[in-house]
Amino acid sequence: MFCYLRSNPESDMTTKDPTYPLSLSVSIKNEAEKLAAAEGTSLNQFIATAVAEKVAALRMASYFAERRGRANWEAFDRLMARPGSAAPRSGDELPDN
């Protein structure tokens, strides 16, 4: 069974209408409502924030993948091989293998 939230049947993906018909299973909707209430926010705000976080995570993953493709590994190896001028801070030491 599914719950339908803020349905706008006249809306389509090409308009600037901010509403979007969303189907959630009853169990997911119930959990989302509990979490939203615990955070002191509305279900709508909770879902909007969750979507924004997911979009940001996917964009960041894409950015790092693209950035990795432009990496200059020879320069990286030179940088990592240079001698340091200070001892590592406590807890930053390399493990003994």
- Does residue 22 lie in a domain region? yes
* Count of structural domains within the chain: 1
What pLDDT digit, counting tens, does each position of 16-45 carry? Answer: 777 788 899 999 999 999 999 999 999 999
- Residue 93, domain member (yes or no): no
Q: Which domain, by its residues, includes 46? A: 2-8+18-77
Q: How many residues does the chain have?
A: 97
Tell whether the torsion through CA atoms of 5, 7, 13 and 19 is positive or negative: negative
CB 41: neighbour CB atoms within 10 A? Answer: 14
Whether pTM > 0.85 for this model: the answer is no
pLDDT of residue 85: 76
* pLDDT for residue 88: 81
The Cα angle at residue 22 between residues 43 and 19, in degrees rounded to 5: 80
Asked if residue 59 belongs to a domain, the reply is: yes
Q: Mean pLDDT score of the chain, rounded to an integer?
A: 85
The per-residue pLDDT for 7 is 47
At residue 5, the pLDDT reads 56
pLDDT at position 84 is 78
d(CA 40, CA 34): 10
Residue 48 included in any domain: yes
In a domain, 43, yes or no: yes
Which of 37, 34, 36, 58 shows the shortest CA–CA distance to 48?
A: 36
